[in-house]
A and B are shown apart, each in its own frame.
Chain A
Amino acid sequence: MSARWGCGYAGRVLLVDLTAGRSTIEPLDHGVARRFLGGRGLNMRVLYDEVTPGVHPLSPENRLMFATGPLVGTHFPGACRVNVSARSPLTGILGDSNAGGFFGPELKYAGFDQVIIQGRAPRPVYLFITDEGAHLRPAEHLWGLDVWETQQAIRSELGDEGVQVGVAGPAAENGVLFAGVFFNLARPAARTGMGTVMASKNRKAVAVRGRGMVRVADPAAFASLVGTADAAIFAHPEYDARRRLGTTRLVRALHGLGCLASFHFRTGCFPGVDRVSGERLAATYRVKGKACFGCTIPCSRFFRIESGPFAGLASEGPEFEGLAGFSSRVGNDDLAVALRAIDMCNRYGMDVISASEAISFVMELGEAGLVSSREADGLDLRWGNANTILALLEKICRREGIGDVLAGGVRRAAELIGRGSERYAMHVKGLEVFQADPRGIKGYALGVAVASRGGDHLRSEPWFELTGDSEEATRRFGEAEAAQRLSPRGKGRLVKYYEERCALADCLQVCKNTLVNMEILPYDQAACILAAATGWEFSEEELQASCERLVNLERCYNARLGLGRADDTLPDRFTREPLPPDSGPSAGSVVELDQMLDEYYLARGWDLSTGLPKGETLSRLGLEISVNPGAAAPGGCS
């Protein structure tokens, strides 16, 4: 069936060369769109083909890519997202991050599925994308402004409040390696240092304004499938909690399970939880619900602090990662302080997960006597010290004193500090791990260990292990214990399944809250809605294979950089130190990683000893690449 560009896909890719100050518009390749679907898939293909192992992450040759998906801009709930990808300066491997908000749809209305940027501008610029293409505009006057100031300055300079802007904040300019690209008030593509890559190209921001439209091939079928999705969302038992609390409900929930990252993972429960929980936030500072583009849940919130030392602080969010990061993880039980810390990250443009790990990391080093207060610029390193938390964020952003040590992430910080501090650095493949303790959720633990962008949960989110539904687990994963969070059994197949669901979400650019956590849009419906949107025939199997293909391609990318089974690991704390007795129902638990890895590789068709895809697996998925660990393999993947 022939493709009709303009239905679902916009059909255009924008290529920008900042060195030459040139841009071109190319048609999106049909074959590529079919095989890689959109978003993360499109970006990873370019990353594999063009960002070969010789390309340094902060060199002009690194590609910075923004991609949306075929449903973005339609009213499919939560189809609003954008993936920002490049080789990561933080981890040195695959870099990729996903954001909601309003940027993705605007890019679609401007008529682009993907923007690929290379080179380095001779002077600071920002990129303004309209339906006609790219315009490079001077940004000297924006350099040094924070995220919000930059957005406002660009909107007022362009005289249009409808312009959507992605910003590299001051942290990115200063070379903090975990700086993100930030959209709207608090909608960052925060992980793996994509903002740092953007700033390294002398590019302060990317702004977009689209006047066009997104068509769908079969409007009636599309509307009825959206109706099905709506109904499933509204009927979901968690609907009301999600709309009131968003992801912040996890603070209390994980504390209850005994696996909330507390005091830098020294324990799984946080005594001050009720003072900093999502429920507490909802009862105190929450003003109203806020949404990403086209979302019918909606899970975000606007809050305002009316009194006290942080009176006047108002923003959107926060999400669980920021809230737990700046409360339980650093041992702080003052909600307003946590909100201020998150606000600083949002304005400076830093990843809250990496930043909160950096801070809790030094706090633990202080406690263990490995770093003295004097070495930490005189700061009091005791848990939860509000002044220290906020001062460290400031120092990291400016790369000042101890902040300079931390600004490269904890893996580098531990190398610089030495003295055995490595064992306190909570990262996988150089990326700081999230706010749940993997020892209490073993499917997540496996997901974090194997994730293609490093220690991250959003590549798999195997939430099903929290259900305890043995029957369903047997049916779906052939192992009743797949539904038991403390059991290592069945987790290989579980994680494989959810990695592919996450890949689907990241390719269609639909929110993982709906597509993964609420299990909206199973593969058969996804195939139907893609067909209704694009006018192409899609089968359930083909779609699932595309997701599997993407996971394999990402593995090949990292394999080419020399990564393999030995890198699919977790910090020793998670595999060797049982959660202490005060960790409630998770006490005594450690992650039995090796056994889960075996099962996972087996499920994936990857070699058990190297952790790399077997030739037959790749050819089944139509990936004509050979993986040779460590060797820079030439050639493309399409």
Chain B
Amino acid sequence: MYDLRIVVEEVRGFCDMPMRPGDYCELRGSRLSIPDGRYFCMWALQSVLPLLPVKQRRIAEENDWIPRTFRVTCPDPDGMVILRIEQLDARDRSPVDQPGARGDSAVERPAPTGRTLVEQPNARQWTPAEGNERGPLPRMLVNSRMCSGCRSCELACSYRHEGVFAPSLSRITVRKDEVGGADEPVVCRQCGVARCVQVCPCGALARNPRTGAVRVDAGLCMRCGDCVAACPFGAIRIHPDTALPLICDLCEGDPACVGRCATGALRYGRAGDLRHAAATGPGVAGEATAGRRRDGGAAECEAGGQVK
């Protein structure tokens, strides 16, 4: 029987825990342990659990897939947390040599655009989920079930950034299915390991360490549009005149769209954490007022939404 270590190899999307690459837990016999002061996401854990008993055992069958499988993805599609199951050497507890396990060498992986992406194993992106000393940073939270489809958020965004009312210049877009009655605000989610940053061939995208938002360096950007294609949420648009990507910059920590959303469909905070909703800072006068209305409205809307 092997002892096992379950390691967070990579966070490709946004993990709300947050799990960080390198986080792990170990299994000896049937005893599971998590290092002191650390934690492990229940969802991530349950996604590997069914595999663990078989990974503990040596399997002789050549045609079985189990011996060749070491990675499991957490079920949250936004998170895209990749977990690696390592079988430990009984003597020094180092991972036994495993085909396909990522060692210390650079690994090649095709990027969504078709370009090959070279990733340095230790060069992780800074992730907003990790936050700073004050704890995890807030991010954009969307509840499309509450969204009335008013598109006020688009106007707030273009007004704040461009000084004009122009949905075509907004960083947030409300996708509508009129007949189906669905309204979905599409907005940057501040991914942990952001695909847009990863694919940018000229290093024009970087994280703002204070807010975690993706920043566009207009001087470096060569307007190739790769980030648009890479974003799994379709959250990037191209400025019709400058051809620069329009990426949410969180308004330096005071998102105008959130302030203007009267229904509570948009929040700036952490899932399950109401403190941030209340603490959203004031924007332009009109926006701040709308923001203050948000919570009462949200409660009502949710109740309405549940009635079937």
Contacts and interface: CB of A to CB of B under 8 A. Distances in A.
B278 interface: no
Given A74-B165, A288-B147, 17 more contacts: A184-B178, A185-B179, A213-B158, A214-B165, A223-B287, A227-B284, A227-B286, A227-B288, A230-B286, A244-B300, A287-B304, A288-B146, A289-B304, A290-B148, A290-B149, A290-B181, A301-B304
A226 B146 contact: no
A253 to B, nearest CB: 19
Interface stretch (A33-41, A199-207, A292-300): A292-300
B289 A73 contact: no
Interface string A232-255: 001000001001100000000000
A286 B146 CA distance: 12
Most buried by B among A184, A214, A293, A296: A296
Interface string A294-325: 11111011101010000000101000000000
17 contacts: A75-B152, A75-B155, A75-B286, A109-B168, A152-B179, A185-B179, A211-B168, A213-B162, A213-B166, A227-B286, A286-B304, A290-B181, A292-B150, A293-B151, A300-B148, A306-B308, A316-B181
A67 to B, nearest CB: 18
B289 A295 contact: no
A296 B150 contact: yes
B164 interface: yes
Interface in A184-230: 184-185, 211-216, 219, 223-224, 226-230
Q: In which size bucket is the chain B interface? A: 35 or more
A211 B150 contact: no
B100 interface: no
A226 B155 contact: no
Contacts, number: 138
Contacts of A288: 145-148, 181, 301, 304-305
Given A211-B240, A289-B301, A224 B286 contact: yes
Given A161-B176, A223-B286, A212 B181 contact: no
Interface in B164-178: 164-169, 176, 178
Contacts of B183: 290
Interface string A124-156: 000000000000000000000000100110000
Interface string B244-276: 000000000000000010110000000000000
B165 to A, nearest CB: 4
A304 B286 contact: no
A234 B289 contact: yes
A296 B155 contact: no
Nearest to A297: B262
Nearest to A220: B284
Given A109-B168, A289-B301, A74 B293 contact: no
A295 B150 contact: yes
B24 to A, nearest CB: 42
B285 interface: yes
B307 A282 contact: yes
A291 interface: yes
A283 interface: yes
A284 interface: yes
Given A224-B286, A282-B307, A109 B148 contact: no
A294 B155 contact: yes
B159 interface: yes
B290 interface: yes
B231 interface: no
Given A75-B155, A234-B289, A282-B307, A293 B164 contact: no
Contacts of A151: 178
Contact of A304 (B158, B181, B240, B284): B181
A231 interface: yes
* Chain A binding surface, main DSSP class: mixed
Contacts of B168: 109, 211-213
A290 B297 CA distance: 13
B156 interface: yes
Nearest to A289: B148
A293 B150 CA distance: 5
A294 B155 CA distance: 8
Q: In which size bucket is the chain A interface? A: 35 or more
A109 B285 contact: no
A302 B150 contact: no
Interface string A20-62: 0000000000000000000000000000000000000000000
Contact of B167 (A109, A161, A314): A109
A230 B290 contact: yes
A102 B147 CA distance: 16
A304 B151 CA distance: 22
Nearest to B293: A234
Contact of A185 (B146, B178, B289): B178
B284 A223 contact: yes
A244 B297 CA distance: 10
B35 interface: no
Interface of A: 73-75, 102, 109, 148, 151-152, 161, 184-185, 211-216, 219, 223-224, 226-231, 234, 240, 243-244, 282-284, 286-298, 300-302, 304, 306, 314, 316
Nearest to A148: B179
B163 interface: yes
Contacts of A102: 151
B262 A296 contact: yes
B134 to A, nearest CB: 30
A378 to B, nearest CB: 34
Contacts of B300: 240, 243-244
A635 B168 CA distance: 43
Nearest to A294: B152
B285 A223 contact: yes
Given A284-B307, A298-B150, A75 B178 contact: no
Contacts of B166: 109, 212-214
A347 B168 CA distance: 30
A409 to B, nearest CB: 30
A213 B165 contact: yes
A296 B301 CA distance: 13
Nearest to B178: A185
B143 to A, nearest CB: 10
B307 A286 contact: yes
Nearest to A161: B176
Contacts of A240: 296, 300
Contacts of B286: 75, 223-224, 226-227, 229-230
B303 to A, nearest CB: 9
Contacts of B148: 288-291, 295, 298, 300
Interface string B125-151: 000000000000000000001111111
B264 to A, nearest CB: 10
Nearest to B176: A161
A314 B181 contact: yes
Nearest to A212: B166
Contacts of A284: 307
Nearest to A240: B300
B181 A243 contact: no
Contacts of A152: 179
Most buried by B among A74, A216, A230, A234: A230
A291 B149 contact: yes
A213 B307 contact: no
Contacts of B262: 234, 295-298
Given A223-B285, A227-B289, A298 B164 contact: no
Contacts of B145: 288
B165 A75 contact: yes
Contacts of A298: 148, 150, 262-263
Given A75-B156, A290-B149, A227 B304 contact: no
A215 B162 CA distance: 10
A77 B158 CA distance: 16
A223 B289 CA distance: 11
A8 B300 CA distance: 34
Nearest to B168: A211
Nearest to A210: B168
A282 B289 contact: no
Contacts of A223: 159, 284-287
